[in-house]
A and B are shown apart, each in its own frame.
Chain A
Amino acid sequence: ALHIRDVENVRLVDRVSPKKAALGTLYLTATHVIFVENSPDTRKETWILHSQISTIEKQATTATGCPLLIRCKNFQIIQLIIPQERDCHDVYISLIRLARPVKYEELYCFSFNPMLDKEEREQGWVLINLSEEYKRMGLPNNYWQLSDVNREYRVCDSYPTELYVPKSATAHIIVGSSKFRSRRRFPVLSYYYKDNHASICRSSQPLSGFSARCLEDEQMLQAIRKANPGSDFVYVVDTRPKLNAMANRAAGKGYENEDNYSNIKFQFIGIENIHVMRNSLQKMLEVCELKSPSMSDFLWGLENSGWLRHIKAIMDAGIFIAKAVSEEGASVLVHCSDGWDRTAQVCSVASLLLDPHYRTLKGFMVLIEKDWISFGHKFNHRYGNLDGDPKEISPVIDQFIECVWQLMEQFPCAFEFNERFLIHIQHHIYSCQFGNFLCNSQKERRELKIQERTYSLWAHLWKNRADYLNPLFRADHSQTQGTLHLPTTPCNFMYKFWSGMYNRFEKGMQPRQSVTDYLMAVKEETQQLEEELEALEERLEKIQKVQLNCTKVKCKQSEPSKHSGFSTSDNSIANTPQDYSGNLKSFPSRSPSQGDEDSALILTQDNLKSSDPDLSANSDQESGVEDLSCRSPSGGEHAPSEDSGKDRDSDEAVFLTA
Chain B
Amino acid sequence: MEFAELIKTPRVDNVVLHRPFYPAVEGTLCLTGHHLILSSRQDNTEELWLLHSNIDAIDKRFVGSLGTIIIKCKDFRIIQLDIPGMEECLNIASSIEALSTLDSITLMYPFFYRPMFEVIEDGWHSFLPEQEFKLYSSATSQWRLSYVNKEFAVCPTYPPIVIVPESIDDETLRKVATFRHGGRFPVLSYYHQKSKRVIMRSGQPLTGTNGRRCKEDEKLINATLRAGSRGYIIDTRSLNVAQQARAKGGGFEQEAHYPQWRRIHKSIERYHILQESLIKLVEACNDQTHNMDRWLSKLEASNWLTHIKEILTAACLVAQCIDREEASVLIHGTEGTDSTLQVTSLAQIILEPRSRTIRGFEALIEREWLQAGHPFQQRCAQSAYCNTKQKWEAPVFLLFLDCVWQILRQFPCSFEFNENFLIMLFEHAYASQFGTFLGNSESERCKLKLQQKTMSLWSWVNQPSKLSKYTNPLFEANNLVIWPSVAPQSLLLWEGIFLRWNRSSKYLDEAYEEMVNIIEYNKELQAKVNILRRQLAELETEDEMQESP
- Do B492 and A496 have beta carbons less than 8 Å apart? yes
Given contacts A525-B522, A536-B536, A626-B485, contact A489 B292 (CB under 8 A): no
Tell me, rounded to whole Å, the shortest Cβ–Cβ distance linking B356 to chain A: 12
**B-side interface mostly:** helix
A309 at interface by CB-CB < 8 Å: yes
B512-549 contacts to A, CB under 8 A, are: 514-515, 518-519, 521-522, 525-526, 528-529, 532-546, 548
Contact of B409 among A487, A511, A518, A576 (CB under 8 A): A511
Whether a CB of chain B sits under 8 angstroms from the CB of A558 is yes
- A622 on the interface (CB 8 Å rule)? yes
A479-B478 CB under 8 A given contacts A299-B300, A471-B518: no
- Residues 541-569 (chain A) with a chain B CB within 8 angstroms: 543-544, 546-547, 550, 554-555, 558, 562, 566-567
Q: Does residue A62 face the partner (Cβ distance < 8 Å to B)?
A: no
Closest to A577 in B: B533
Within the complex, the shortest CB–CB distance from A541 to chain B, in Å, comes to: 11
Q: Which of A158-166, A319-327, A333-341, A603-611 contacts B (4 or more CB under 8 A)?
A: A603-611
Q: How far is the CB of B213 from chain A (nearest CB, A)?
A: 23
CA distance A604 to B514 in the complex (A): 31
Q: Is A41 an interface residue (CB 8 A)?
A: no
Indicate if the CB atoms of B485 and A629 lie closer than 8 Å.
Answer: yes
Q: Which residues of chain B in 214-233 are interfacial with respect to chain A, using CB atoms and an 8 Å cutoff?
A: 232
Known interface pairs A299-B296, A525-B522, A629-B483. Does A490 touch B537 (Cβ–Cβ under 8 Å)? no
- With a cutoff of 8 Å between Cβ atoms, the chain A residues found around residue B489 in the complex are 288, 298, 497, 499, 503, 506, 509
A531 to nearest B CB, angstroms?
10
List which B142-190 residues lie within 8 A (CB) of chain A: none
Does B503 lie within 8 Å of A487, measured CB to CB?
yes
The yes or no answer to B262 lying at the interface (CB within 8 A) is yes
Tell me, in angstroms, the Cα distance from A303 to B493 when the chains sit together: 15
Does residue B266 face the partner (Cβ distance < 8 Å to A)? yes
A513-B414, A533-B525, A624-B320 are contacts. A472–B297 as well, Cβ < 8 Å? no
Determine the chain A residues whose CB is within 8 A of the CB of B502 once the complex forms: 491, 493
How distant is the Cα of A509 from the Cα of B278 in the complex, in angstroms? 25
Which B residues from 109 to 167 make CB contacts under 8 A with A? none
Cβ contacts A289-310/B at 8 Å (1 or 0 each): 0001111111110110010110
Give the residue of A293, A497, A537, A558 whose beta carbon is less than 8 angstroms from that of B545.
A558
**A478 / chain B contacts, CB cutoff of 8 Å:** 510
Partner of A522, one of B313, B518, B535: B518
**Chain B residue, CB-CB nearest to A539:** B536
Q: Which residue of chain B has its CB nearest to the CB of A306?
A: B293
Q: CB of A412 within 8 A of chain B?
A: yes
Beta-carbon contact of A602 and B546 below 8 Å = no
By the criterion CB–CB under 8 Å, are A492 and B295 in contact? Answer: yes
In the bound complex, how far is the Cα of B508 from the Cα of A580, in angstroms?
37
Give chain B interface residues in 294-309, CB to chain A under 8 Å. Answer: 294-297, 299-300, 303, 305-306, 308-309
Is B528 touching A533 in the complex (CB atoms < 8 A)? Answer: yes
B270 in the interface (beta carbon within 8 A): no
Contact of A592 among B320, B476, B522 (CB under 8 A): B476
The one of B288, B294, B482, B529 that contacts A512, using a Cβ cutoff of 8 Å: B482
**Shortest Cβ distance from residue B196 to the other chain A in the assembled complex, whole angstroms:** 15
- Given A515-B474, A625-B313, the answer on whether A299 and B499 have CB atoms closer than 8 Å is no
B543 lies within 8 A of A543 (CB): yes
Q: How many residues of B contact A (CB 8 A)?
A: 88
A299 to B487, CA, bound (A): 12
Q: Which of B290, B484, B486, B529 is in CB contact (< 8 Å) with A536? A: B529
Indicate if A170 sits at the interface (CB-CB under 8 A).
no
Identify A602's interface contact among B294, B482, B508, B510, CB under 8 A: B482
Question: Which of B484, B519, B522, B538 lies at the interface centre, i.e. has the most chain A CB atoms within 10 A of its CB?
Answer: B522
Residue among B300, B507, B519 making CB contact with A412, cutoff 8 Å:
B507
Residues from chain A with Cβ under 8 Å of B264 in the complex: 615, 618, 621
Say yes or no: is B64 at the interface (Cβ < 8 Å to chain A): no
Per-position contact with B for A125-145: 1 when CB-CB < 8 Å, else 0?
A: 000000000000000000000
What A residues does B324 contact at CB under 8 A?
608, 610-611, 613, 628
Known: A296-B300, A479-B507, A626-B485. A593 touches B540 (CB 8 A): no
Query: Which of B295, B485, B521, B541 interacts with A526 by CB under 8 Å?
Result: B521
Contacts of B525 in A (CB 8 A): 526, 529-530, 533
Name the B residues within 8 Å of A656 (CB-CB).
none
A491 neighbours in B (Cβ, 8 Å): 288, 290, 295, 502-503
Considering residues B289, B499, B502, B542, which has the most beta carbons from chain A within 10 angstroms of its beta carbon?
B542
Complex Cα gap A546–B536 (Å): 13
Q: Select from chain B the residue with minimum beta-carbon distance to A513.
A: B413
CB neighbours (8 Å) of A611 from chain B are 324
B457 contacts A by Cβ under 8 Å: no
Among B488, B511, B548, contact of A298 (Cβ-Cβ < 8 Å): B488
Q: How far is the CB of A63 from chain B (nearest CB, A)?
A: 30
**Looking across the interface, which residue of chain A has its beta carbon closest to that of B289?**
A492
Q: Which residues of A contact B199 (CB under 8 A)?
A: none
In the assembled complex, the Cα of A335 lies from the Cα of B266 at a distance in Å of: 55
What are the residues of chain A within 8 A of B480 when measuring CB–CB? Answer: 593, 602-604
Does chain B have a CB within 8 A of A590?
yes
Partner of B296 from the list A302, A546, A593, A604 (CB cut-off 8 Å) is A302
Query: Which residues of A (505-537) have their CB < 8 Å from a CB of B?
Result: 506, 508-513, 515, 518-519, 522-523, 525-526, 529-530, 532-533, 536-537
Contact present for B522 and A522 (CB under 8 Å): yes
Report the minimum CB–CB distance from B510 to chain A (whole Å): 6
Which of A511, A546, A604, A626 touches B487 (beta carbons < 8 Å)?
A626
User: Which B239-296 residues sit within 8 Å CB-CB of chain A?
Assistant: 262, 264-266, 285, 288-296
B514 contacts A622, C-beta separation under 8 Å: no
Contact in complex: A550, B546 (CB < 8 Å): yes
Q: Bound complex: CA of A122 vs CA of B145, how far in Å?
A: 77
Indicate if A591 sits at the interface (CB-CB under 8 A): yes
Q: How far is the CA of A543 from the CA of B543 in the complex (A)?
A: 8
A576 touches B546 (CB 8 A): no
How long is the Cα–Cα vector from A618 to B239 in the complex, in angstroms? 11
A573: Cβ under 8 A from any B Cβ? yes
Asked whether any CB of chain A lies closer than 8 Å to the CB of B411, the reply is: yes
Which has the most chain B C-beta neighbours within 10 Å: A479, A489, A629? A629
- Is B412 interfacial (CB 8 A cutoff)? yes
B365 within 8 A of A: no
A503 to nearest B CB, angstroms?
A: 5
Tell me how far the C-beta of B532 lies from the nearest C-beta in chain A, rounded to whole angstroms: 4
Most buried by A among B292, B478, B499: B292
- Whether a CB of chain A sits under 8 angstroms from the CB of B504 is yes
CA distance A292 to B313 in the complex (A): 12
Interface status of A630 (Cβ within 8 A of chain B): yes
Chain A residue with Cβ nearest B540: A573
Cα of A604 to Cα of B410 in the assembled complex, Å: 16
8 pairs, CB–CB < 8 Å, chain A vs chain B: A296-B306, A410-B507, A523-B518, A543-B540, A555-B542, A590-B476, A591-B478, A616-B262
Additional A-B contacts beyond A570-B544, A592-B476 (10; CB < 8 A): A477-B510, A492-B290, A499-B490, A509-B485, A512-B482, A522-B518, A523-B522, A526-B522, A580-B529, A622-B317
9 closest Cβ contacts across the A-B interface?
A298-B488, A412-B511, A492-B295, A299-B300, A303-B296, A629-B483, A309-B292, A529-B525, A625-B316
| A-binding residues in B (CB < 8 A) | 232, 262, 264-266, 285, 288-297, 299-300, 303, 305-306, 308-309, 313, 316-317, 320-321, 324-325, 409-414, 474, 476, 478, 480-493, 495, 499, 502-504, 507-508, 510-511, 514-515, 518-519, 521-522, 525-526, 528-529, 532-546, 548
Residues of A at the B interface (CB closer than 8 Å) are: 288, 292-300, 302-303, 306, 308-309, 312, 410-414, 471-472, 474, 477-479, 487, 489-497, 499, 503, 506, 508-513, 515, 518-519, 522-523, 525-526, 529-530, 532-533, 536-537, 539-540, 543-544, 546-547, 550, 554-555, 558, 562, 566-567, 570, 572-573, 575-577, 580, 590-593, 602-604, 608, 610-611, 613, 615-616, 618, 621-622, 624-626, 628-630
